[in-house]
Amino acid sequence: MTAPDWNPESYARYADLRLRPATDLLAQVGALPPGDLVDLGCGTGAAAAALRARYLDRALLGLDASSAMLERAAETGAYVALIEADLRDWAPERPPALIFSNAALQWLGDHAALMPRLAAMLAPGGVLAVQMPRQWGAPSHRFLRDIAAAHFPGRFEPDSSSPVATAAEYWRMLSGLGRIKAWETDYVQYLGPVTEGHPVRHFTQSTAMRPVAERLDAAELAQFLTAYDTALAAAYPILPDGGALMPFRRVFFVLEV
């Protein structure tokens, strides 16, 4: 069965919170050699305007596995080409100056092989700039796995390791390939009130919840959401205005080859 495509409207609901890490990452990218820019896992094109503004004379290519996201990215008018492809198999036609990936590569495994392979695609002096959530052990994400395993035994693994490593591990993994900066940041995200359910659930349902939700029927999903909302209320107390605070950790690195 083909998994449901991404929902651009749901993903864009928290566009400002999702854009800030992208601009924080871009701020650490310096001068580039000749070549194109690749927005790897571009989604709806959230980072396109910032990339275009920073490098006005460069061709910007967007790559994503979701046709729905690429349709929305096309509306930005920022890309010279949009490519639908599996990020694991893609290779550029010519070496790019920058491969920029904001919150996409956490969906792929074996980073010890993936990241050096991407770095090898770059033009000499090119840059690989990556940001990924590292929220695997936080309640928002841990509850997804634990509740699914408890309510639907045998259908979900109770736990498994995340492909996303620490900043120090990426530094050690890639330091032999060039100059690298690596860091982690905790963002304290304010999520406003919602009409139904918990605010944190509305943040995760368009991303981290997808692998669970797409395997449940309507009745099972309702059961799951009730349990998830209850658990979230204990971990992320509702504020007087109906919103909630959600600390969110992200890992970054910028490698110049």
120-139 pLDDT, tens digit per residue, is 999 999 999 999 999 999 99
pLDDT of residue 15: 75
All residue ranges of the chain with pLDDT < 70 are 1-13, 158-160
pLDDT of residue 6: 42
**What is the residue whose two structure tokens read 């495994």?**
109
Q: Give the pair of three-digit tokens for residue 242.
A: 């109906």
pLDDT of residue 11: 46
pLDDT of residue 4: 47
pLDDT of residue 1: 35
pLDDT of residue 161: 77
Q: Are 53 and 144 in contact (CB under 8 A)?
A: no
DSSP state of 7: -
pLDDT of residue 91: 94
pLDDT of residue 9: 52
pLDDT of residue 159: 62
Q: Is 154 left (phi over 0), alpha (psi -120 to 50) or beta?
A: left
Please give the Cα distance from 175 to 180 (Å, whole number): 6
For 98, phi then psi, to 5°, come to -145, 130
pLDDT of residue 40: 98
pLDDT of residue 39: 98
Please give the Cα distance from 202 to 11 (Å, whole number): 10
pTM for the structure as a whole: 0.90
pLDDT of residue 156: 86
